[in-house]
Structure 1
Amino acid sequence: MARGSRPRIEPVPDAPAATVDLGADRALVIGDYHAGIEAGLRYERGVELPSDGPARRQRLLELLRNEHAARLVVLGDLGHRIGSVDGAEREELDSLYKAVVENFGARITVAPGNHDGGLEGLWGDLEGVDILPQAGGLLGDADRGETVGVCHGHTWPAPELLSAEVICMAHEHPTVKLTDSVGGYRTEKAWLRGRLDRDIMAAGVDADPDTITWGDPELVVVPSFNDRSGGTWVNVESEGFLSPFLPEALVDADCYLLDGTRLGAYNSV
């Protein structure tokens, strides 16, 4: 297969979102939307917060509009509850579908995450929605060798994703802990971008590393779109990663803030 130009995943400045051209479509890529999280926090932790659903939706619509995107790609955890979708979460997802598909006219592609167990029953038959398998899928132009693998990252990706030039995942909610000279600290959302180890990835998907179609993909881990969903401090060793293939499969990876600041290797920030 002839290789084309590597698809460019371009982070949107100062936003937890990126753009990518997928053939005829320009797509906006986000992860970890966590619709209905406030109801979940009330049930899980006894935390009472007013819903930020309308503001989340408006922020997303502004990004779609400003980036001239015809498709929204969600890298999993579109909803928050694990299992059935009801109550406030269902209301927010219904409003999101109406706003993005019916009113704005964009398609939605979802690579399901561990919080999306009820999504197929809610959105599976809706016009304008494509729900990928749990292990993700390929988007783009395979004939030209210009493909992007998309998955949530809570499981090993489907073997075909390893043929892509770029793999985008979420799940980690990557953040960095930045400490000042007097011991104070702040946390900020971050991007991770780096290369993957072929042998580790092939073994994880039960494939032969010598015969697997290997695109030498760049891994892009996107920050959480939801501001209330917490995160993994990727530069704190004791935190640990959530994905089954991280950090072992990362040959190297740099960390970037939302404003584009490159902090260098994530494990030495």
Structure 2
Amino acid sequence: MAADALVEPVPDAPAATADLGDETGLLVADYHAGIEIGLRYERGVELASAADERRERLCGLLAETRADRLVVLGDFGHRIGETGRTEREELRDLLDAVGVPVTLALGNHDPGVAEAFGDRIDVTPADGARLGDVGILHGHTWPAPEVLAADVVCMGHEHPSVKLADEVGGARVERAWLRGPLAREAFADAVDVGEWGDPELVVFPAFNERSGGTWVNVAGQSFLSPFLPNGLERGDVYLLDGTRLGEYRAV
């Protein structure tokens, strides 16, 4: 089965459906529950909580797609380390509402989430896991060999965005997808690749629009993942509405 049939973005949403073999999954990345509290202490930014809106948006996507499972590609919560009260409350309310099993690809912000909610969600190792022919990981570590043996690899962590300028000098930043063939050479010195699935890589936009991102088309921006950009020698960038902007290095 072709990779583009395995993972399909939901139009106008930072989410995708995926054929997981015996289930249909709704995949999202970088939910960052409790981010408003984090921004207050990290940057002195005061924002009203959007927890209810995030929950309603995600539950709406689950209903729209009729997914059997929610898969979060890391950073379900925002705080690194032990979860705070506000974050735990947001995640508890969300897990009460989703109505489907939840799998979390452990992200760098998630050790406290796994400790607090490990009895309610399935948590993968940090280097990811396979769900059918789909490999999942957050992307802050090198992937497991079984992930690289998949037909398509889905990750978060980067929060890819593009900065778009108009004819009169204005600019806007939009969340984006990155998709392209994964380059085996990028893993030769770090991972015992074993069986190579010649996978497509799909880098998900952040679900949480308040979490910032990597501007993939701005000089001087660097990737966060240890296997990017070398692992994506050529790939396209897409906006949430499906607009293809072309090769990400040339946008």
- Establish whether TM, by shorter chain, passes 0.5: yes
Number of the residue aligned with 1:118: 112
Gaps of 5+ in 2: none
Structure 1 length as normaliser, TM-score?
0.90
Q: 1:148 aligns with which of 124, 134, 141?
A: 134
Hey, what's the Cα distance between the residues in 2 that align with 1:46 and 1:120? 27
Number of the residue aligned with 1:86: 84
Hey, what's the Cα distance between the residues in 2 that align with 1:14 and 1:244? 29
In structure 2, the residue corresponding to 1:39 is in which secondary structure?
helix
Hey, what's the Cα distance between the residues in 2 that align with 1:182 and 1:188? 18
Taking only aligned residues, the RMSD between alpha carbons, in angstroms, comes to 1.2
Q: 1:188 aligns with which of 174, 178, 184?
A: 174
**Could you list the per-position Cα deviations for residues 94-128 of structure 1 after superposition, in whole angstroms to 9, with x for gaps in the alignment?**
1111111xxx2x010000111102022111122xx
Q: Does 1:30 align with 2:28?
A: yes
Q: Does 1:229 align with 2:227?
A: no
Instruction: Give the count of matched residue pairs.
Output: 250
Hey, what's the Cα distance between the residues in 2 that align with 1:87 and 1:41? 15
Q: 1:165 aligns with which of 151, 156, 163?
A: 151
Q: Where does structure 1 differ by over 6 angstroms across 4 or more consecutive aligned residues?
A: none
**Could you list the per-position Cα deviations for residues 59-90 of structure 1 after superposition, in whole angstroms to 9, with x for gaps in the alignment?**
00000000000100000000000000121101
Structure 1 window deviating more from structure 2 (55-64 vs 192-201): it is 192-201
**Could you list the per-position Cα deviations for residues 8-66 of structure 1 after superposition, in whole angstroms to 9, with x for gaps in the alignment?**
21000000000012122111000000000001011111111110000000000000000
Hey, what's the Cα distance between the residues in 1 that align with 2:157 and 2:116? 21
Number of the residue aligned with 1:136: 128
- Is the 8 Å Cα contact of residues 236 and 267 (structure 1) preserved in structure 2? no
Hey, what's the Cα distance between the residues in 2 that align with 1:195 and 1:5? 12
Structure 2 length as normaliser, TM-score?
0.96
The amino acid across from 2:239 in the alignment is L
Hey, what's the Cα distance between the residues in 2 that align with 1:121 and 1:196? 32
Query: Kindly tell me: are residues 190 and 5 of structure 1, through their superposed partners in 2, closer, same or farther at Cα, counting changes over 3 Å?
Result: closer
Hey, what's the Cα distance between the residues in 1 that align with 2:90 and 2:225? 27
Q: Does 1:107 align with 2:101?
A: yes
Hey, what's the Cα distance between the residues in 2 that align with 1:152 and 1:44? 22
Q: CA deviation at 1:261?
A: 0.5
Gaps of 5+ in 1: 141-146
Q: 2:165 aligns with which of 179, 185, 188?
A: 179
Hey, what's the Cα distance between the residues in 2 that align with 1:204 and 1:78? 27
**Could you list the per-position Cα deviations for residues 134-153 of structure 1 after superposition, in whole angstroms to 9, with x for gaps in the alignment?**
1110001xxxxxx1100000
The amino acid across from 1:204 in the alignment is A
Q: CA deviation at 1:194?
A: 0.6
- Is the 8 Å Cα contact of residues 112 and 134 (structure 1) preserved in structure 2? yes
Number of the residue aligned with 1:268: 250
